[in-house]
Structure 1
Amino acid sequence: MAERPNHMSSEEFRQAGYQAVDWVADYMVRLGEFPVKSPVEPGDIRAMLPADAPAHGEDFADVLADLDRVILPGITHWQAPGFLAYFPASASGPSALADLVSSGLGAQGMLWDTGPAVTELEQHVLDWLAVEMDLPEKFQGNGVIQDSASSSTLCAILAARHRAGGIDALPNLVAYTSEQAHSSIAKGLRVAGIPDERVRLIATTPDFAMRADHLAYEIVNDQKNGLTPFFVAATVGTTSTTAIDPVTEVGWVAENFNAWLHVDAAFAGAAVLCPEMRFLNAGLETADSYVFNPHKWLLTNFDCSAFYVADRASLNEALSITPEYLRNPASESGAVVDYRDWQVPLGRRFRALKLWFVLRHYGLEGLRAHIRRHIAWAAELTEWVDADDRFELAAPTVISLVCFRHKGGNGATQQVLDAVNQSGRAYITPTTIDGQLILRVAIGSPQTERHHVEELWNLVQSAA
């Protein structure tokens, strides 16, 4: 007779769960003690792991102990107060607990029928956000949670391709985006069958925003050559400098040439919860789709990308395939949303639960306070940079990203970067624009306080 698997009993799960939650809670307290960026070399973690998988189950306490021994040395601590790199991937207690509940439920939300609460909660919290962020009314009732802005952009591209004639139209389709746009746009276009030579990178202003006049010129030129402009991607908060494309003007161009306008506000979009930041919404009434990531700045654990589309028909028709085993009375009635038709994969997790927990724990005012603190500290850091004769700002500080460089050139800037990151107290990442190395300080970690920003500035000054 086959051996029985050693499933945890309810009581064993309860006790192991207490231990795991204690470990995570202790980790949150210890975050400031670790080097922010992992110091390990390639292969170090694998060298600590046994060559063969365990033949028999081990005690949970031993597994938990190896989190400290094996895993923590190889973790770059994204939640650390000194993490000022990339853009934040903010976690929080309520969100982590929601992920635990979601994992315990093990719900599969591909259809309304396979998990009515999974679908309807997602619809509801995304409508909450659409209202509180003052998004155009056409996006209400048309939101979906994707795993990332990259997937959201790919879905927008596929919907745009479908509207432009589908696969048959591919040889003539042309797409447009800023030369400062995120690489996921070019990657999504490749996946959708648009080769690099039919992707136009539009020139930018001195503040790194897309030039609508250059966009119009490129589109007119392509039309003269018998090509079909089908997709324009604008960015509200570029990765390098958080530049803001002029969505109103870009949208006017896209609309006049019947091209789909997708707006990527992956990081910056969360700021719009604050009424004083609503200028970031300018022009959204012209957009066909819009994305921002609660998992960046809204205290919701990765992965949670909020994607809104005005014309759900193009998206659903591009992605819907219905074999017999997925048919059910609710779907056939047309009265429900089946989110499988809003994404590339079939299966989907219960991501809305963590967004719901976060909104209910913090409330809108709590989330606004979280965002406003970071914006204020970024403004203060900008003043410090501006007052130091050794440094110069490399771009306007629009939200909570501060970009600057050493006046001594790339070598001096690299020296500052290396000193900061090797200190273990902070971690920042650079970008390069027009051959110049630029330091990016992205303030957004939930653990960061003003004195951590001040400590970072002291490290920068010491290294200069």
Structure 2
Amino acid sequence: MNWEDFRQWGRRAADWAADYHAGLRNEPVRAQVAPGAVLSALPDAPPEGAEAMQAIFDDFEQTIMPGMTHWQHPRFFAYFPANAAPVSVLAEYFVSAIAAQCMLWQTSPAATELETRVCDWMRQAIGLPDGFTGVIQDSASSATLCAVLTMRERALDWQGNKAGLSGQPRLRVYCSAEVHTSVDRAIWIAGLGEENLVRIPTHGPTRAMDADALRAAIAADRAAGHQPAGIIACTGGTSAGASDDIAAVMDVAEAEGLYTHVDAAWAGSAMICPEFRSLWAGVVRADSVVMNPHKWLGAQFDCTTHFLRNPDDLVRTLAIQPEYLKTHGADGIVNYSEWSVPLGRRFRALKLWFLIRAHGLGGLREMIRNHVTWAQDLAARLEATEGFEVVTQPMLSLFTFRHLATADLDAHNQDLLNRINDDGRIYLTQTRIDGALVIRFQAGAFTATAEDVAMAYDVITELAAAGT
């Protein structure tokens, strides 16, 4: 393909994308294919010669698309959203066409300086004070890894990268059982070992980390000769929206001199609405905070904003400056590759800039408030319906429920969930609360309407009745 061919196919791609989204409500949300169906339809060996674009496009439509789960479907109520607002898709189109590698200021000054500006816009939008500085990471998993590496280096007086962990005291990091599994992976990759991730019991309706238990665990580790390194708190945990009492966690962290990271990957987007900020009261005292505009706000994946109270600690942990990465003759610049694990960096700031300008914070707030209201209404309807139990009350737009039966409740609800997802009109997932299997609902699709959420009630109750 040359650029003249691209002109034609680019128009076709834009038409296809618009048609795809216009017809999404008519498609089953989850892919309805058997394991291996797509693989078996693909040739075993790559082609030796060039193939016509029309043939490639036909195979894309006939082979690939039937095996895609539609994450942009307005009735995608599973996991968390991975929204892609049209303006964000358009911005990514431009990013792909420009194809810049934005690792240093000099490799694209506009990319670096726009990232600085839109991160500060997001800081203001979610109510963090002036002292925080932001960077765009690929995902919250990477931001959490950056935080754990910084915890490690601070605890070892910045000798971990140089001397390694051999012969050092065991470093301990504290969190609740409600944090995302990306925390486990960060602990593995940082070389701390899973046994040194200390799980603190939770309590109360928000399933918050018990601050007294946290304080006792730190004291016990110090007595055993271990080295506490940091605390990871969460706001809006993935399973059921668990939210730690950040202020109470910070009281302990400050008394113990520990680095703190707050994972608000999903729920952080809701903090553009001032009325929800009580959920993370005390966050202004944290060292590191992460939230994902690529979840609820509509900035196409991947786009994570990571805020730091003292970015020098992160740069000291990650920066490597060989001669070929130095920028001579320019003072006061920022090289964001020194703030993240990968050297290479995509121009992620452009889609966030387009998104905020095209929708405004007011438009994004309205969407989030609608989702929260609709989820609360659905939970109330299910709770008032005979045979249903709301297990965890809505945390923003996320809640869990189950259908009661005389049979094995776990098996019964897993069967109900399977039938719901095979039906195709909506898509839900499961989790476990205190060991019991429950069905998880969250409203967050960019194009969802009140009618879409109301349909979830119809589908759930209809299929529950059919299975009893």
If the length of structure 2 is used for normalisation, what is the TM-score? Answer: 0.94
1:434 maps to amino acid: D
2:260 maps to amino acid: L
Q: Distance in 1 between matches of 2:227 and 2:329?
A: 39
Deviation at 1:419, TM superposition (A): 1.8
Deviation at 1:362, TM superposition (A): 0.6
What is residue 384 of structure 1 aligned with on the other side? 381
Q: Is structure 2 residue 56 aligned with structure 1 residue 63?
A: yes
- Mean Cα displacement is larger for which, 442-451 or 340-349? 442-451
Cα distance change of structure 1 residues 382 and 330 upon mapping to structure 2, 3 Å threshold: farther
Deviation at 1:330, TM superposition (A): 5.1
* Contact 2:169/2:225, CA 8 A, preserved across alignment: no
Q: Distance in 1 between matches of 2:327 and 2:319?
A: 15
Q: Is structure 2 residue 309 aligned with structure 1 residue 316?
A: no
Q: Is structure 2 residue 127 aligned with structure 1 residue 134?
A: yes
Deviation at 1:424, TM superposition (A): 0.8
Deviation at 1:226, TM superposition (A): 1.3
* Contact 1:136/1:284, CA 8 A, preserved across alignment: no
What is residue 4 of structure 1 aligned with on the other side? none
Q: Distance in 2 between matches of 1:171 and 1:61?
A: 61
Q: Is structure 2 residue 38 aligned with structure 1 residue 45?
A: yes
Query: Residues 432-447 of structure 1: matches in 2 within 5 Å?
Result: 432-447=432-447
What is residue 19 of structure 2 aligned with on the other side? 26
1:200 maps to amino acid: V
- Mean Cα displacement is larger for which, 283-292 or 447-456? 447-456
1:313 maps to amino acid: D
Q: Distance in 2 between matches of 1:402 and 1:164?
A: 38
Q: Distance in 2 between matches of 1:179 and 1:201?
A: 6
Q: Distance in 2 between matches of 1:330 and 1:271?
A: 42
What is residue 286 of structure 1 aligned with on the other side? 285
* Contact 2:233/2:260, CA 8 A, preserved across alignment: yes
Q: Distance in 2 between matches of 1:423 and 1:79?
A: 18
* Contact 1:375/1:399, CA 8 A, preserved across alignment: yes
What is residue 180 of structure 1 aligned with on the other side? 178
Q: Distance in 2 between matches of 1:415 and 1:463?
A: 10
Q: Distance in 1 between matches of 2:56 and 2:450?
A: 37
For each residue in 1:423-448, what CA deviation from the matched residue of structure 2 results, as whole angstroms up to 9, or x when unmatched?
Answer: 01111000012220111111001122
Query: Residues 36-435 of structure 1: matches in 2 within 5 Å?
Result: 36-139=29-132, 142-165=133-156, 166-167=159-160, 170-207=168-205, 208-329=207-328, 333=331, 335-408=332-405, 409-435=409-435
2:83 maps to amino acid: S
For each residue in 1:319-365, what CA deviation from the matched residue of structure 2 results, as whole angstroms up to 9, or x when unmatched?
Answer: 1111111112156x3x0110110111111000011101111111111
Q: Distance in 2 between matches of 1:422 and 1:337?
A: 50
- Mean Cα displacement is larger for which, 52-61 or 316-325? 52-61
Q: What secondary structure sits across from 2:440 in the alignment?
A: strand
Deviation at 1:215, TM superposition (A): 0.6
Q: Distance in 2 between matches of 1:54 and 1:330?
A: 49
Q: Distance in 1 between matches of 2:376 and 2:329?
A: 52
Q: Distance in 1 between matches of 2:169 and 2:102?
A: 36
1:438 maps to amino acid: V
For each residue in 1:257-296, what CA deviation from the matched residue of structure 2 results, as whole angstroms up to 9, or x when unmatched?
Answer: 1111100000000001112212134111220000000000
Q: Distance in 2 between matches of 1:256 and 1:265?
A: 23
1:182 maps to amino acid: H
Deviation at 1:52, TM superposition (A): 2.3
1:191 maps to amino acid: I
What is residue 3 of structure 1 aligned with on the other side? none
* Contact 1:293/1:306, CA 8 A, preserved across alignment: yes
Deviation at 1:406, TM superposition (A): 1.9
2:288 maps to amino acid: S
2:392 maps to amino acid: A
Q: Distance in 2 between matches of 1:211 and 1:407?
A: 31
2:342 maps to amino acid: P
- Mean Cα displacement is larger for which, 117-126 or 404-413? 404-413
If the length of structure 1 is used for normalisation, what is the TM-score? Answer: 0.95
Q: Distance in 2 between matches of 1:214 and 1:309?
A: 27
Q: Distance in 2 between matches of 1:224 and 1:258?
A: 16
Q: Distance in 2 between matches of 1:201 and 1:124?
A: 37
The unaligned stretches of length 5 or more in structure 2 are: none
Q: What secondary structure sits across from 1:437 in the alignment?
A: strand
Deviation at 1:199, TM superposition (A): 1.0
Deviation at 1:413, TM superposition (A): 1.7
* Contact 1:160/1:314, CA 8 A, preserved across alignment: no
Q: What secondary structure sits across from 1:137 in the alignment?
A: coil
Q: Distance in 1 between matches of 2:6 and 2:203?
A: 57
1:374 maps to amino acid: H
1:89 maps to amino acid: A
What is residue 452 of structure 1 aligned with on the other side? 452
Q: Number of matched residues?
A: 453
